[in-house]
Amino acid sequence: MSFFRSVTALSKLRSRLAQQSSTLGSVRWIQIQSASDLDLRSQLQELIPEQQERLKKLKSEHGKVQLGNITVDMVIGGMRGMTGLLWETSLLDPDEGIRFRGLSIPECQKVLPAASGGEEPLPEGLLWLLLTGKVPNKEQASALSKELQSRSTVPDCVYKAIDALPLNAHPMTQFTTGVMALQVQSEFQKAYESGISKAKYWEPTYEDSLNLIARLPVVASYVYRRIYKNGQVVPADNSLDYGANFSHMLGFDDPKMLELMRLYVTIHSDHEGGNVSAHTAHLVASALSDPYLSFAAALNGLAGPLHGLANQEVLLWIKSVVKECGENISTEQLKDYVWKTLNRGKVVPGFGHGVLRKTDPRYMCQREFAKKHLPDDSLFQLVSKLYEVVPPILTELGKVKNPWPNVDAHSGVLLNHFGLTEARYYTVLFGVSRSIGICSQLVWDRALGLPLERPKSVTMEWLEKYCKKSA
């Protein structure tokens, strides 16, 4: 049996899982790992038949069970609240926030392996958890880290594709171009063209997914150094873990920044399947497009101002507050500035969420990190004031279901503190992180044989006629 980092944490986790096993089906197969089981792929090979049978039974016994009613509001309102997608790796509760295979963010911080001398969870550990539903031990996380390093070589054609773009192209444009260029080495495409059996689709998907996850920090750091550091590339340090090495290649080696990057990648990795980037990847992959094509599509969704680009907008807005009002802004001045923003027909970036109805746990763990490592940072103090000021104003406005801060409200301030000040680049960090959740689910999409996604669409005329008949 493997060991969690503390017996207390283990006993608490077992107790909680026992209490919630009836409500969180995926939790029932979270297990403790054997120290000898270091091969992630072999772990999956053992799990897949069981989960295939589970899905088959679910479909045969409960396929006709209704999950709710579809309203006109849902059809014309972005399908909000409509249950229509299977996503195994995480589940978002409006009140509790995200759970990765049944584990909350604070629980992941307690039980997932950390770097030697560190406290924040290793992204490699979360990747293992998302793929297998099992909490890895340090040996397994370390083995996966080494495997990702062995897969991280990026072909020259990728750099050439990026270099063909002007330097002023948005970092996400350059990043997505690099991902598309990586596609020339897709194992799934080769296997499909060779006539691989459907039952084995998951195998080249797994290979592509791990290769993609491994190479993204290299591509992302190249984009950063090309745009902002005169193209002076920092070589990888294979003695470092995934998050720390990413920070190092960007040019940041402060131990606290390494810890921040581990935390950042972990908490941004997955947020169930209905958000734009995750759903896009699932949709495109359902056509049997390989993980590179699917993830590139996801990145294009992530680049939108209403999705991943929001973390860029938050820092820019906060700096605009400082520019206009100064760093020592009073609470009343801040209230006035917030109202001025809203009265201009704009939003306060970083507040509200499509599903959550309480403060985002991802915001809270970043806040705790800041309180520990940068309590006197002026922008952090401003973010803290916003946490007090904005929710009551949005509540008074009466148009917002969730007035509380989300993950984007805090991440930029942390990155800015350690020197990563280029806000236009922040969505690239988000993209690297999101690959862990998306690619994990893509492996299971193919392992479970999930079909082509094809919902029904209707016209306004159809809706009008249907509603008249139903009246």
- Neighbour-count burial of 269, counting CB atoms closer than 10 A to its CB (0-12 exposed, 13-18 middle, 19+ buried): buried
Report d(CA 458, CA 471) in Å as an integer.
19
Q: Which of 82, 96, 456 is nearest to 273 (CA)?
A: 82
Strands (E), 323-402: none
Q: Cite the DSSP H helix spans in 63-104.
A: 72-76
Give residue 169's identity as a one-letter amino acid code.
A
Annotated active-site residue in 307, 360, 410, 417: 307
Q: Which of 318, 406, 405, 415 is nearest to 374 (CA)?
A: 415
Asked whether 128 and 108 are in contact (CB, 8 A), the reply is no
Asked whether 162 and 226 are in contact (CB, 8 A), the reply is yes
Annotated active-site residue in 271, 353, 410, 417: 353
Give 286's DSSP letter: T
Report d(CA 123, CA 98) in Å as an integer.
16
Asked whether 355 and 92 are in contact (CB, 8 A), the reply is yes
Q: Cite the DSSP H helix spans in 183-228.
A: 187-193, 202-228
Show the tokens assigned to 105: 């963010």
CA distances 121 to 13, 42, 117, 404, 463, Å, are: 16, 23, 12, 25, 49
Q: Does 253 participate in catalysis according to the annotation?
A: no
Q: Does 373 participate in catalysis according to the annotation?
A: no
Annotated active-site residue in 37, 360, 408, 445: 408
What's the order of all strands across the beta sheet hosting 90-93?
Answer: 90-93, 97-100, 103-104
Q: At which residue do the structure tokens 């400082």 appear?
A: 322
Show the tokens assigned to 274: 């209905």
Report d(CA 331, CA 451) in Å as an integer.
53
Q: Does 279 participate in catalysis according to the annotation?
A: no
What residues are labeled active site? 307, 353, 408
